[in-house]
A and B are shown apart, each in its own frame.
Chain A
Amino acid sequence: MLSRVADSLYWMSRYLERAEHAAHVMGVHWNLMLEHDAGSAGPRWDRVLAALGYQDEVVGDPFAVAQTYALDQVVTSIAAARENARQVREQISSEMWEELNRLFHESRRIAEPESFGSQPHDVVSAVVQSSRLFQGITDTTMLHGEGWQFIQVGRSMERVQDTARLLDTHFGEFFRGGDAIGMSEHMEWVGLLRASSAFEAYCKVYTADMRPDRIAEFLLLNAEFPYSVRFGVEQLRRSLERVHQATATRKSDRLGKLAGRLTASLSYTPLEEIMSNLHEFTTTIRRLCGQIHSGIYQVYITYPIEAALEV
Chain B
Amino acid sequence: MATPGFDSHTDQTRFDDYWFDGAFDEMFQAPGEPRAHYRALYDLLRELPLAEMRRRKQAADISFLHQGITFTVYGREEGTERIFPHDLLPRILTSREWETIERGLAQRITALNLFLHDIYNAGRSLTEGVVPREIVYSCKHFRRQMREFTVPQNRYITVVGTDLVRLPDGRFVVLEDNLRVPSGVSYMLTSRQVMKRIFPELFRTAGVRPIDHYSEALLATLRALAPEGRPDPNIVLLTPGVYNSAYFEHAFLARQMGIELVEGRDLAVHDNTVYMRTTAGLRRVDVIYRRVDDDFIDPLVFRSDSSLGVAGLFSAYRAGNVALANALGTGVADDKALYAYVPRIIKFFLGEEPILDNVETFLCGEPAARAHVLERLDQYVVKAVGESGGYGMLIGPNSTVAEREEFRRRILADPRNYIAQPTLQLSRAPCFFDGSVEPRHVDLRPYILFGDKLTIVPGGLTRVALRKGSLVVNSSQGGGSKDTWVLH
Please choose the segment from A95-103, A231-239, A277-285 that sits at the chain B interface, where 4 or more of its residues have CB less than 8 A away. A95-103
Q: Give every chain A residue within 8 A of B277 (Cβ-Cβ).
A: 2-4, 305, 308
B313: min CB distance to chain A, Å: 15
Contact, CB under 8 Å: A6 / B251: no
Q: Give every chain A residue within 8 A of B263 (Cβ-Cβ).
A: 4
Nearest-neighbor residue (CB-CB) of B263 within chain A: A4
A264: min CB distance to chain B, Å: 26
Contact, CB under 8 Å: A311 / B281: yes
Q: Give every chain A residue within 8 A of B248 (Cβ-Cβ).
A: 89
A124 within 8 A of B: no
Instruction: Determine the distance from Cα of A97 to Cα of B242 in the docked complex, in whole angstroms.
Output: 15
Contact, CB under 8 Å: A90 / B252: yes
Query: Which residues of chain B from 235 to 267 have any CB-CB distance to chain A below 8 Å in the complex?
Result: 242, 247-248, 251-252, 254-255, 260-263, 265-266
* Count of chain A to chain B residue pairs whose CB atoms are closer than 8 Å in the complex: 70
Contact, CB under 8 Å: A246 / B254: no
Contact, CB under 8 Å: A86 / B280: no
A257 within 8 A of B: no
Q: Give every chain B residue within 8 A of A3 (Cβ-Cβ).
A: 266, 277-279
Instruction: Determine the distance from Cα of A97 to Cα of B261 in the docked complex, in whole angstroms.
Output: 16
Nearest-neighbor residue (CB-CB) of A97 within chain B: B68
**DSSP majority for the B interface?**
mixed
A72 within 8 A of B: no
Q: Give every chain A residue within 8 A of B280 (Cβ-Cβ).
A: 1, 246-249
B468 within 8 A of A: no
**Given A248-B280, A308-B281, A2–B260 Cβ distance below 8 Å?**
yes
Q: How many residues of B contact A (CB 8 A)?
A: 26
Q: Give every chain A residue within 8 A of B276 (Cβ-Cβ).
A: 2
A46 within 8 A of B: no
**Given A90-B251, A105-B65, A2–B278 Cβ distance below 8 Å?**
yes
B230 within 8 A of A: no
Instruction: Determine the distance from Cα of A87 to Cα of B260 in the docked complex, in whole angstroms.
Output: 12
A94 within 8 A of B: yes
Q: Mark A287-311, 1 if CB is under 8 A from B, else 0.
A: 0000000000000110001001101
Contact, CB under 8 Å: A301 / B279: yes
Q: Give every chain A residue within 8 A of B247 (Cβ-Cβ).
A: 86
**DSSP majority for the A interface?**
helix
Identify B279's interface contact among A83, A247, A309, CB under 8 A: A247
Identify A309's interface contact among B254, B261, B270, CB under 8 A: B270
A75 within 8 A of B: no
Contact, CB under 8 Å: A249 / B255: no
B109: min CB distance to chain A, Å: 28
Contact, CB under 8 Å: B67 / A94: yes
Q: Mark B67-78, 1 if CB is under 8 A from A, else 0.
A: 110000000000
Q: Mark A5-37, 1 if CB is under 8 A from B, else 0.
A: 010000000000000000000000000000000
B268 within 8 A of A: yes
Nearest-neighbor residue (CB-CB) of B66 within chain A: A98
Instruction: Determine the distance from Cα of A86 to Cα of B239 in the docked complex, in whole angstroms.
Output: 13
A243 within 8 A of B: yes
B163: min CB distance to chain A, Å: 27
Instruction: Determine the distance from Cα of A147 to Cα of B282 in the docked complex, in whole angstroms.
Output: 17
Instruction: Determine the distance from Cα of A91 to Cα of B261 in the docked complex, in whole angstroms.
Output: 9
User: 6 A-B contacts, Cβ less than 8 Å apart?
Assistant: A86-B242, A98-B66, A101-B68, A247-B278, A305-B277, A308-B277
7 further interface pairs, Cβ-Cβ under 8 Å (given A89-B68, A89-B255, A305-B268): A2-B277, A89-B248, A90-B254, A90-B261, A102-B66, A243-B279, A246-B279
